[in-house]
Amino acid sequence: MNLPADLKYSKTHEWVRAEADGTLSVGITDHAQEMLGDIVFVEPPEVGRKLAAGAECAVVESVKAAADIYAPVSGEVVAVNAALADAPQSINQDAYGAWIFRLKPGNAEEIGSLLDAAAYARVVEAAEK
Amino acid sequence: MPFIPHTEVDVRGMLASIGVADIEALFDEIPRELRIQGLSGVPAAAPEMAVLRLMAERAEADGRYLNFIGAGAYEHHIPAAVWQIATRGEFYSAYTPYQAEASQGTLQALYEFQTMMASLTALDVSNASLYDGASALAEAVLMSVRLHKGAHRVLVPRTVHPLYRNVVRTITRNQHVEIIELDYSHESGTTRIETAAAIEGDIAALVVPQPNFFGVLEDAEALAGWAHSRGALAIGVVNPLSLALLRPPGEWGADIAVGEGQPLGAPLSGGGPYFGFMCAREALVRQMPGRIVGRTTDSEGRPGFCLTLQPREQHIRRAKATSNICTNQSLMAIAAAIHLSLLGPQGLERAAAQCHANTLALRDRLAAIPGVAPAFTGAVFHEAAIRLPMPAAPVLERLRSERILGGFDLSRHYPELGNALLVCATETKTEADLERYALALERALGERR
């Protein structure tokens, strides 16, 4: 399983990367993109929207399914990856490069409650049993 | 494959394997008192011969009327070949098959339908049809609210078909949509958009009927422009036949166009089945409800057809689907595609022009009767409101006794218009028919004076 050690993960298959400017990039894991199949559309959240942790905020649509993306932590949406509008398949090609949106976290402590790579791997393995 | 695939033996076998005594037991969890034990007024089965006789008698009682009622459903000539082709076994189903790729012919026919509707409306995409015009409008209203992300108010002129407005209210009532009605000019019969200026805050959409329920042509471009100036979408409600003559909604600024497809090949037949259609700009397609057939290529590069954008739909997206419309009026849409193919652009234009000419001739002939006058000054397509010197209801009754259906009494939905009657003369009417109507109306009014 491709799970970079420098990222945090959620049980709902989002990854989170702490950026140098204090924002958090959010995308979906390599495992999630593999389960969805060819991704054809991403509906990002609106910039400026304030999200509670766990709030539905985006949709990733593949040829066979549509999956909701949840805010891993609370915060305000400060950017969305506009490149995904024309190239949603980049999530399939590079799940950890293709961030979907960036959050300014509302509560820095919440990040600590996210999973590390090993814990997320256990979540995925448990689900596959 | 037979339509009902399970024999009694199959059913017994399935019940036995899940350990249930009979089918009734499967419904145990529904309390008795909530279950209908039988439908009152529905008789027990009757032999085919008796049913045929009953239906023949009923059909006779319907009579052979000369019909001048439009009001949303229009009597048109349908070439005999339309239903000869549409009822072929390959097409004869109300449904888009779920295993769509197994029926390329049905998909291709629907794809052609979509292409024709997109070209008639001058919009980018069409779906494979909806239930009817009224629910298509409700779906467009919901679509506009989903797209706007912030506004939940939709302006609906009172010149929109009153029953469409009822359906919109019913479907949107519990979905956080606020419907605001706009008044119309009692002189021109067109929407008074200036009354909307006082409405503050965000608006998701303005509905623009063209022609409107009175048959009158709205200043559609100005209405759509007003909507856009307020950051709202413009939803056109259009008669597809009129598009052979009028500027298509895509050209006057509609973002979404919906309507009743019945004028394209569906017989009146007591109110249905008809079909709704919906077209939109491509940017809005992901919020468009209903099936969409796409053209694609298979793994060997051969062209083919498939259902596309399905994750919007409820069998995949569940409660978050764009709509709970899960099927469409596939057969009626295919009949429309056949109808349009047989008429061709020129045929459609001739039919529309003849409707327009007949209605103008009828309106002018009726207005020559003392006490009768056009109700509105606005230009009309193929339907016109006239004012009578007495209530329409008894006049219509009198006309009915002469086997004429004289029009739609507007007083029920528009009491403020007084004794107003909506009349329609399609291409099916001859000069003699119009004269017969005019003379009968003269008699009906004369008797009462």
Q: Is residue A122 part of a domain?
A: no
Express each pLDDT in A31-64 by its tens digit.
999 999 999 999 999 999 999 999 999 999 998 8
- Per-residue confidence band for B317, with pLDDT thresholds at 50, 70 and 90: confident
- Per-residue confidence band for B308, with pLDDT thresholds at 50, 70 and 90: confident
A66 neighbourhood in chain B, CB within 8 Å: 311-312, 316-317, 320
Question: Strand pairing partners for B307?
Answer: B293
How far, in Å, CA of B371 to CA of B390, rounded?
9
Residue A100 belongs to domain with CATH number: 2.40.50.100
ipTM value, please give it. 0.74
Checking if the pLDDT of B2 tops 60, the result is no
B393 touches chain A (CB under 8 A): no
Give the end-to-end CA distance of chain B in Å, rounded to a whole number. 66
Give the end-to-end CA distance of chain A in Å, rounded to a whole number. 15
A38 neighbourhood in chain B, CB within 8 Å: none
Q: Which residues contact A94 (CB under 8 A, 6 or more apart)?
A: none
The domain spans of chain B are 66-75+344-448, 81-338
How far, in Å, CA of B292 to CA of B104, rounded?
14
Pairing mode, strands A24-28 and A101-105: antiparallel
How far, in Å, CA of B134 to CA of A124, rounded?
47
Count structural domains, chain A: 1
Q: Which fold has domain B81-338?
A: Aspartate Aminotransferase; domain 2 (3.40.640)
Q: Which residue segment(s) compose the domain that A46 sits in?
A: 8-115
Q: Is residue A50 part of a domain?
A: yes
B412 near B377, Cβ under 8 Å? Answer: no
A64 neighbourhood in chain B, CB within 8 Å: 311, 316
Q: Is residue A72 part of a domain?
A: yes
Q: Is residue A128 part of a domain?
A: no
Express each pLDDT in B352-411 by its tens digit.
999 999 999 999 999 999 999 999 999 999 999 999 999 999 999 999 999 999 999 999
B238 near B121, Cβ under 8 Å? Answer: yes
In the numeric block, which tokens belong to residue A3?
């799970």
Rounded to the nearest integer, the mean pLDDT of chain B is 93
Express each pLDDT in B415-437 by its tens digit.
999 999 999 999 999 999 999 99
Checking if the pLDDT of B97 tops 80, the result is no
B286 touches chain A (CB under 8 A): yes
How far, in Å, CA of A79 to CA of A44, rounded?
10
Q: What is the domain class of B66-75+344-448 according to CATH?
A: alpha beta
Checking if the pLDDT of B219 tops 50, the result is yes
Which pLDDT value is given to residue B177? 96
Q: What residue type is A27 in one-letter code?
A: G
- Per-residue confidence band for B38, with pLDDT thresholds at 50, 70 and 90: confident
Checking if the pLDDT of B32 tops 90, the result is no
B316 neighbourhood in chain A, CB within 8 Å: 64-66
Q: Is A86 exposed, middle or buried (0-12, 13-18, 19+ CB in 10 A)?
A: exposed
Q: Read off the pTM.
A: 0.87
Checking if the pLDDT of B34 tops 70, the result is yes
Express each pLDDT in B55-91 by its tens digit.
999 888 877 899 999 999 999 999 999 999 999 988 8
How far, in Å, CA of A24 to CA of A18, rounded?
5
Whether B149 and A41 lie within 8 Å, measured CB to CB: no
Mean pLDDT of the B199-219 span: 97
Residue B13 C-alpha from the chain's centroid = 45
What is the SS3 assignment for B125?
Answer: strand
Residues of A with CB under 8 A from a CB of B: 41, 43, 46, 61-66, 68
DSSP 8-class letter at A10: -
B352 near B245, Cβ under 8 Å? Answer: yes
Express each pLDDT in B177-194 by its tens digit.
999 999 999 999 999 999
CA distances B434 to B74, B166, B362, B401, Å, are 16, 33, 6, 17
B312 touches chain A (CB under 8 A): yes
Mean pLDDT of the B303-307 span: 90
What is the SS3 assignment for A40?
Answer: strand
pLDDT < 70 regions, chain A: none
In the numeric block, which tokens belong to residue B219?
């200043």
Of B35-49, B63-77, B109-123, B220-234, which range is least confident?
Answer: B35-49
- Per-residue confidence band for B1, with pLDDT thresholds at 50, 70 and 90: very low
Which pLDDT value is given to residue B4? 65
Q: How far is A112 from chain B (nearest CA, A)?
A: 31
